[in-house]
Structure formats: structure tokens, C-alpha cells
Amino acid sequence: MQKRGAYVLANDEVYEWTVAFLESFRAHNPDLPLYLIPFDDRCDRIAGLTSKYKFKTFEHDSFDTLESIGEQLEIGVTPTGPHWFRRFASFWGPLDEFIYLDCRMVVLADVAPLVHALDIYDCDFLHFEGGLDQVYEPGPVRTRLVRDRCAQGFNSGRWVTKKDLFSREQMQNVATELVRHRDQMNRRNTDQFFLNYLVHTSDARYASVHDLLPEVSRLTWPRIPGTIYQENGNYKVWSYGRPEHETQAVLMHWAGISRKPGMERRWLFRHFWLRGKSNMEKTMLWIRDLILMPIQVAWQRLRESRWMHGLYEQFWGQ
């Protein structure tokens, strides 16, 4: 019998994110096996949540090798990037079919149907869309993969796949090849372009979750337009005139977005993060938000301004 479940990567540095993730995951997946992949050795606080949220810690002897691959591809933009490569140990873990999820998200539905879709549609790998610009730079590699493989860029923080789809040797070979093409890969997202290239150049049967399951919303990132509402216990998307209108929201992933009072769709994060907290704690958090939110919003607008972007490129972008 196939063992199905989920993996999540986290450490104590993202404790608040992890609590919200675990609350949301168990709210909608009370019995699905869940394994924590430690981002590094700072996991003492999270380890204390094991019994409450019914998960196990997954350690593997490939961690050092995977981090070494990350170091080969890192160019100094994301110093912690090599640790993200630990997530790929999930290919050799205890689960036969699984969904991998980052901790900086909340789960809004039962994810078991996404895992079952591997068998239903005879696929090896299902991904959530993320955009080619977050994976490959313009160049021959990108052109070849789009033309010959119909490659779609996808996010490396959420995907569905099978055990042993890739071997350590395959990953080492891909890493060696990517070092030669590093200038054609995204400067920041090392683990993301690695996984994309690994899938796109393999014989794996892969597809977009949204293309195979049109009832699943493309709205999995907070900055995608649309309103999320609840209907009969399900989270749905109101985005009239768009393809995701009245589809089911299954995940909300704050990839690349800092946890702050002014972050997009923060109410979803707060809903799960505040579960179980006292009224006093909730009141203090609301007061803090009222004070900090205007400052955070102003700072975010400044960071995203053309002037600040030009300054960043001038001093740190070279």
C-alpha cells in the first residue's frame, strides 16, 4: 500500500510561520502523515510542537551533499540558499507519494486529492505555476526548454511527486551542468532553478496542478488579484472575469514576502497563527499592528520604488 503524506522545511528562525502552517495543515489534514525537514540545527522550539501537531522529524544523510550542490550554484545573493536544498532529501524519504510545502504558507484545504492526482493522471511531478522569469534568464537554455519541452516555470516551495523520482547521481550531474550555465539562471532562486531544470530535462511526466485540476485556484501567492471567501467551509476565490473565479483556494504562500503588519492577505496568516492564543495576546498584537502598519506600508512602498531599485542595482546588483 502506498504511503502518502507531506513534508515541510523549517527551523526556529521561522517559528511563527511554522505555527501558522501547522495550525492550518492540521485544521484541514488532521490525519495525513507530516514530516519536518530541519532547515539547520536550530529546531529546538519547533521540536516542542511535535506531539501537538503530530509530525515527525526527518533527518537524512544526504543533507551535506545537497547543501554542497547549493553552494556550487550560489553567487552570494542568498547566503542561506544552500540550506533550501535539504528539501530534496524528500525524494528518498519514508513517503511513496507526497506533497512538499514551505512553512511560509497556510493550507486551506485537504491536500490528499493533490497527491492522489499523481495516480489519476499518471504523472510523476505536479507543480504550481511561478513564472519563467523567476527561474531562467533569457538565453539559449530557456529558449530550448520552452521550445522543445514546453517548459513552465514553477515555484520550488510547493510541489507534488513520488519517491525516488530522482537519484543523488542525477542531482550531482544536473548541478555540474548548471554551473556551466549559471549566467542563464535566476540570480537569487538557486533551489528553484535547480528543481525546474532537473524536472524539465528529465523523462519525468510533469504538469501544472491547475491545468489538470481546473477547480484548484491559481491564486496561491498573495499578490495575485482576487478575493478569498468561505463558502460551506471551503475557501474560494472571487475574481470575476478571470480564469480562477470561483475556484478553490488550497494554499496561500508568502514566497518572497516578509512577515509584517502590512503584508498582503495577512488576515489568513493571523487566522491560524492566533488560534489558541489568549484574548490578551490577541489584543496586544492588534495594538502593535495599529502602530506599526503605517510605518511598514510606507517602508514597503519605498523599497519597491524605482528610485530604491536603481540604488540597489547601482551598489549591490553587480
What confidence tens digit (pLDDT) does each residue in 211-265 have? 999 999 999 999 999 999 999 989 999 999 988 899 999 999 999 898 887 789 9
pLDDT number for residue 313: 62
Integer angstrom CA distances of residue 269 from 22, 221, 263: 11, 13, 10
Tell me how far apart the alpha carbons of residues 132 and 150 are, in angstroms, rounded to a whole number.
11
Rg over alpha carbons for the chain, rounded to the nearest Å, is 20
pLDDT in tens, the chain (318 residues): 789 999 999 999 999 999 999 999 999 999 999 999 999 999 999 999 999 999 999 999 999 999 999 999 999 998 899 999 999 999 999 999 999 999 999 999 999 999 999 999 999 999 998 889 999 999 999 999 999 999 999 999 999 999 999 999 999 999 999 999 999 999 999 999 999 999 999 999 999 999 999 999 999 999 999 999 999 989 999 999 988 899 999 999 999 898 887 789 999 999 999 986 777 766 766 666 666 666 666 666 666 666 666 665 666 554
Tell me how far apart the alpha carbons of residues 197 and 171 are, in angstroms, rounded to a whole number.
10
Instruction: List, as one string, the DSSP characters of 25-63.
Output: HHHH-SSS-EEEEESSS--HHHHTTHHHHT-EE---TTH
Tell me how far apart the alpha carbons of residues 294 and 281 are, in angstroms, rounded to a whole number.
21
pLDDT number for residue 307: 67
pLDDT number for residue 277: 72
The pTM of this model reads: 0.89
- Which option is the CATH number for 4-212: 3.90.550.10, 3.40.50.720, 3.30.565.10, 3.30.365.10? 3.90.550.10
pLDDT number for residue 137: 96
Residue extents of the structural domains in the chain: 4-212, 279-318
pLDDT number for residue 205: 97
What lies within 8 Å, CB to CB, of 277 at 6+ separation is: 285
pLDDT number for residue 301: 67
Distance from the Cα of residue 126 to its chain's centroid: 13
CB 52 within 8 A of CB 23: no
CB 149 within 8 A of CB 204: no
Across the chain, what does the average pLDDT equal? 91
